[in-house]
Every structure is written in C-alpha cells, then in structure tokens.
Amino acid sequence: MTGLAGQTDEPSAHRDRFARDNLPPRAAWPELLFELPELAYPARLNVARALLDSALVAGKREHTAIITDRATLSYGALAERVNRLASVLVHRLGLVPGNRVLLRGYNDPWMVAAYLAVWRAGGIAVGTMPLLRATELGQILRKAEISHALCDSRLAAELLAADAACLREVAMWGEGQLETLCAEADPDMPACDTAAEDVALIAFTSGTTGEPKGCVHFHRDLVAICDTYARHVLRADAADRFIGTPPLAFTFGLGGLLLFPFRIGAAVVLQERPGPEELFAAIVRHGASVCFTAPTAYRVMARLAAECRPHTLRRCVSAGEPLPVPVLEAWRDATGLWLMDGIGATEMLHIFIATGVDEARPGLLGKVVPGYRAAVLDDAGRPLPDGTAGLLAVKGPTGCRYLADERQHRYVRWGWNITGDTFERTEDGWFRFRARSDDMIISAGYNIAGPEVEAALLTHEAVRECGVVGAPDPERGQIVTAFVVLREGVAPSDALAEALQDHVKRTIAPYKYPRRIVFLGALPKTASGKLQRHALRALASRQEASDAAR
C-alpha cells in the first residue's frame, strides 16, 4: 500500500458512531502515506491484540511486562487483567463498540490495563492528565460525549464534580470496586473485531486557552508509530526496560511507556509521579535501558549521573520542549550517551523528526522519521530553499483529524500537517528548530527565536529554568522578555539581571538579549510539563502596561 490512503469500504465494528460521524470530511484530512511495507496493515486490526495477543503467541506469557516498586506483572498476568476488565466494561457497564471511555489515573498497571481493555472491548480511550480539574474534565466529557469512565479512586473527586450529563458509568480501582468486578469476570474475553480505521483514541491537546481540541486516532495509527519511529529510530529490543516521566494520557508517554515496549515484547518500569531525582533512582534500581523524558529532567539528572553513571541506559529520548545544547552536552559528558532529540505533536500522535542513535549534531533537531516526509514552506504553501526559516509541514501514516472542530483547516493545509513550528532545513536533510511560529519575537525588525535566548540563559550557572517571550513595546514593536527561575540559594537582584543580560550578549548575537528580566519562583506549565508561553505572554503584557502607566 503506497501513496494517499483512499476511503476504505471496510465495515466499522462501532455501533456507537459518534466519533466516526464527527470526523472532518476526508477531503480535509492531510495526505496519508503508507510507503513502508510494514505499514500495509490488514483491514481488520485491534491494537490490544497487536500488542498483547501477539506476545502470548510468541511465547512471552511468563516474560515481565510491567515493573513497579511494589510488584511485577508478566505478559500473561497483564493479558488476564485486560481480558477481565474488558469483560467488565461490556457485560457489567454496558459498553458498546464506539463508546468513549475517560481514563483517569497515574502511571501504574491499572492505567495500562485500562487503555488495553478499552481497545479490546472496541471502545475509544480518552486519557486525561491527573492534574486536570472538574471544569477541564467537564469540557472533555461534553465535547466527546463520554459515557463511561475508569478512574483511580484517589482522583475521583474532580471527575465526580464535573458537569457532564452524558457520563453514565464510573468504575474505580484502588478501593476494591473494580478489583472485585474483575475477579468475577471472564479471563478469556475475546477482542472486538475492529477495523483498522475504527477510532481507538481521542487525545485532547493541553496547555492552550479556549476549547480543547480532540485529536482522533485509529487502531492503525497506534501501531504505525511503533513501526516507524520505534522500529527505525529508537531500535529497542525485547531485552530493554523502558522508563520515563510523561503521563500515559500524554501521547509522548503513551507511545514511550505502553505502545513501544509492548509492540516488541519488552518491559516497562512505571512510577506514579516521578520527578527527575526519583526517575534517576529508579533507572539505577531497576536497570532501565530506554528513557523518555523532557530536557528539564535530563538537565537535573546530568548532575546526578556525573556522580553515579547509570550503566544500563542505552537510549535516552528527549521531547516535549526544545533541547538546549548545554543540556545535550552535559548529558553526553556525564553518561557518554547522546540524547535522542525529537519533535512530535498530539495531532500526529508521536515523534516525526528525530535524532537517531549516536547521530546528534548540537543545534540541529534531527532528520525525518522513516515513513514520514517533511518540508519547510512559506505562507502560501510553497517550498522554501534550504537554510530559510518557514512553516514546518509534515505528512505520513498518521495525521490531524480533529473531533468536530473548525480548526481542522488551520492545521491541515495543502495536504500537509502544519504544526505551528518555525524550522530550517540544511542541505543534507537535517532540521533546525527556530521557534513555535507564535514564539518568534519581532523586535525592531529583527526576528528573534525565544528558545535560542532561553538556551543562552541556561548556560549561566545561576539559572535553573527560564522562558522567553515577546512583550509589546511602542518603539520596537516587541521586546525580548525573560522569566527566570534561579537555582536554590541564588537571590534575585538588579545586578544579577544585568549580569544575565551581559551573558546572553556574549553567548549569542547581542541584539537578541532580553531587555527585561523577571524573576519567578516557578514557571507556568501544563499538566504534561510543557511551558505555558501564552501565560508568560499575558504576564509580560500586564507588566508592560503597568510600567507604561507609571
């Protein structure tokens, strides 16, 4: 199967057609590519079977699937839990194929089983971040018309307070309810005979203002990211132990901590709420070899690794935010390993441009993942010459399909997924991240990429974290404004602000230095740990208005 995916005539298994009926028209989808032979999937495909049943057929019933500090779960034990939970969904909670099921929990075996059970039963999983509150949960519940929820009892209060008349059934693990139901359920529940293009996941975007966007992905899509990025770039194997910090509700975590390891019969180490120090300790304690986390965590762990090198690590994936060169080099110095940088999107499901094993080139993000194509376009959709900054455009076996959302036409243009990032491409096919398109600061006619200024600030020993945005200015249009979190024991002062400005001038072009520095105790972030630049822009605007009033 190659080229553009056409409309299939394969009948859907979904009796509840809400998600299918609220897809954008196929003409509004991006072009889908299936140019690799491994992407020629059968017309009937259930991702739970592709991940679990195939492991059992391959003789991995006794192999370790999940490791926690309290217990381990074999593939056979996990499959039985998934089967029983799928049976509860269908026979006790009345789920019919196509119903949406909200999942709310930490990274633990029950959350993994919940995803797999929903897919096995023919439902559509809608993962939610543990930190979401009732108002945010209500938006998701109503937009996706979610009828069922599986929830960690510790997180139930906000879910039960959400305003959503559509939610009919809520079952909870942690206090015995779901555990009792599962103990009485069928351990051999067969998988629903879903079509490859039946919806399996609705992933809601986080961190933006306004109505959340639901990104719709098929059973085929969940397997495709395993057979592109994980197979051709990550190149892990069944002996690996995966670990990381991103929540399973974040597609970065769903791929790295569920889909990728189970596709190859590997094990995953799960921690409920790890910070960088806890993650590092678990890597050493459990002998983890493949790590998924954000640059902020690698920055902290590099200092720990310099004192105690984690010898089992062999693959370290960085995504979720730009990777500063100082973090890349500090990690290399401490561990001997290059970080595998990558950029993905909820709309694309996972990483589509990445650095491969031992291929890092400081200052460049990576090359296109096999199975995908990428280009740099101007505002009219025309390709730009190499070395010219423009809109990043991507296409491949996955792509943007928003649930009942007019914003589809903004993300999909000219057949491409337009990610909202500004990039350059080198002559030899490497891509350089410049900024989010809305993070490019235009000051006195200069284009200044906020992440570049951040990278410069992070090389100063006093800076722990920072975020750089443009603030309105009557003379220059915008001025570069840096919000800085200092290391423990370092006190903010006017003298330090001036020293940071001088440091940036020495590190990058002087015109890029932050004309205003604001010290904060913490940066605003999303539930998935991404910097909320819109919150910083709002704060910068308020500060500018206050200064003007004075």
* Together in a domain, 239 and 289: yes
Query: Alpha-carbon distance 411 to 417, whole Å?
Result: 6
Based on the domain organization, do 144 and 188 belong to the same domain? yes
The pTM for the full model equals 0.85
CATH number at residue 481: 3.30.300.30
- pLDDT attached to residue 549: 57
Average pLDDT (327-353) is 96
The answer on pLDDT for 342 being more than 70 is yes
What is the distance between the alpha carbons of residues 112 and 223, in angstroms, rounded to a whole number?
16
Is pLDDT at 5 greater than 70 in this prediction? no
Residues 278 and 339 in one domain: yes
- Give the pLDDT band (50/70/90) at residue 550: low
Mean pLDDT of 144-165: 97
- Nearest-angstrom CA–CA distance, 51 and 223: 9
Please tell me the total count of domains within the chain.
2
For the ranges 30-34, 129-133, 219-223, the lowest mean pLDDT is seen at 129-133
How far apart are the C-alpha atoms of 452 and 325, rounded to whole Å?
A: 10
Is 131 a member of any domain?
Answer: yes
Q: Is 334 within 8 Å of 309 (Cβ atoms)?
A: yes
Q: Are residues 158 and 29 located together in one domain of the fold?
A: yes
* Least trusted range by pLDDT, from 215-224, 313-322, 386-395, 484-493: 313-322
Q: How confident is the model at residue 477 (pLDDT cuts 50, 70, 90)?
A: confident
Please list, in sequence order, all residues whose beta carbon lies within 8 angstroms of the beta carbon of residue 55, skipping any fewer than 6 positions away. 61, 63, 65, 75, 79, 262, 265
- Residue 204, domain extent: 18-425
Q: What are phi and psi of 405, to 5 degrees?
A: -145, 120
Q: Strand 351-354 relative to strand 367-368: parallel, antiparallel, unpaired?
A: antiparallel
Given 425, 460, 489, the domain boundary residue is 425
Residues 174 and 250 in one domain: yes
Given 376, 392, 425, which residue is the final one in a domain? 425
Confidence of residue 7 (pLDDT cuts 50, 70, 90): very low
Q: Is 163's pLDDT higher than 90?
A: yes
Residue 299 in any domain: the answer is yes
Residues 6+ apart with CB under 8 A from 156: 104, 170, 172
Contact (CB, 8 A) for 74 and 62: yes
Residues 414 and 545 in one domain: no
CA atoms within 13 A on the CB side of 296: 20
> Among the listed ranges 98-112, 405-419, 516-530, which one has the minimum average pLDDT value?
516-530
Three-state DSSP state, 112: helix
- The pLDDT score that the predictor gives to residue 208 is 36
Q: Answer whether residue 39 shows pLDDT above 50.
A: yes
End residue of a domain, out of 365, 397, 425: 425
Phi, psi of 63 (to 5 degrees): -75, 150
Q: What is the CATH number of the domain that holds 107?
A: 3.40.50.12780
Query: What pLDDT sits at residue 88?
Result: 98
> CB burial class (10 A; 0-12, 13-18, 19+) of residue 273?
exposed
Q: Quick check: is 356 in a domain?
A: yes
- What is the Cβ-side half-sphere exposure of residue 184, based on CA atoms within 13 angstroms? 9
pLDDT of the residue at 468? 94
Mark whether 254 and 402 lie in a shared domain: yes
Q: Bin 444: left if φ > 0, else alpha if -120 < ψ < 50, else beta.
A: left
Same domain, 450 and 418: no
Is the confidence at residue 374, as pLDDT, over 90? Answer: yes
Residue 438 lies inside a defined structural domain of this protein: no
